Amino acid sequence: MIPPDLLQCPTMTDLPCPCDPARRYADCCGPLHAGAAAANADALMRSRYSAYVMGLEDYLLSSWHSSARPQPPLLEPGAKLKWLRLKVIGHRVIDDDHAEVEFQARCLENGARRDLHERSRFVREDSQWFYVDGVIG
């Protein structure tokens, strides 16, 4: 997690958000990384992508539903992985507490380009959204 005070730092307030360079990190994923609740599954998915880019393993684990949360370490130390972009294809609300987000993410892994296409499932419990799982395809 990122301390909320850090979001007020002049260098942080103007940084582009990893999930969408047209948005400012302090106005997009930053507050979620500092502990604010995601408004919807799309916002949580974007914040999780940004957390992968920034190496925020604690945030990734805490935003994963307890029924499916993996054991750490989630991010491999020294992995040669660089996330390049995120494209949200769709956000489907199933009901008040369930949603799906389909996205494509591009990265470089050991210098080779890789595209990830996933349909992620999310659940809301006690006003908090959580990532459950995803189908890669």
In this prediction, residue 72 carries a pLDDT of 86
Q: Is beta strand 98-109 parallel, antiparallel or unpaired with respect to 81-95?
A: antiparallel
Structure tokens at 24: 């400012």
13-25: per-residue pLDDT in tens? Answer: 689 999 999 999 9
Per-residue pLDDT reduced to its tens digit, 38-47: 999 999 999 9
**Cα–Cα distances in angstroms (integers) from residue 86 to residues 9, 43, 102, 109, 124, in the given order:** 26, 13, 11, 15, 23
* 68-127 pLDDT tens trace: 999 988 887 777 889 999 999 999 999 999 999 999 999 999 889 999 999 999 999 999
pTM for the model: 0.90
d(CA 19, CA 88): 9
**pLDDT grade, residue 51 (50/70/90)?**
very high
Contact partners, residue 99, CB within 8 Å, separation at least 6: 40, 41, 42, 91, 92, 93, 121, 122, 124, 129
Q: What is the predicted pLDDT for the residue at 6? A: 53
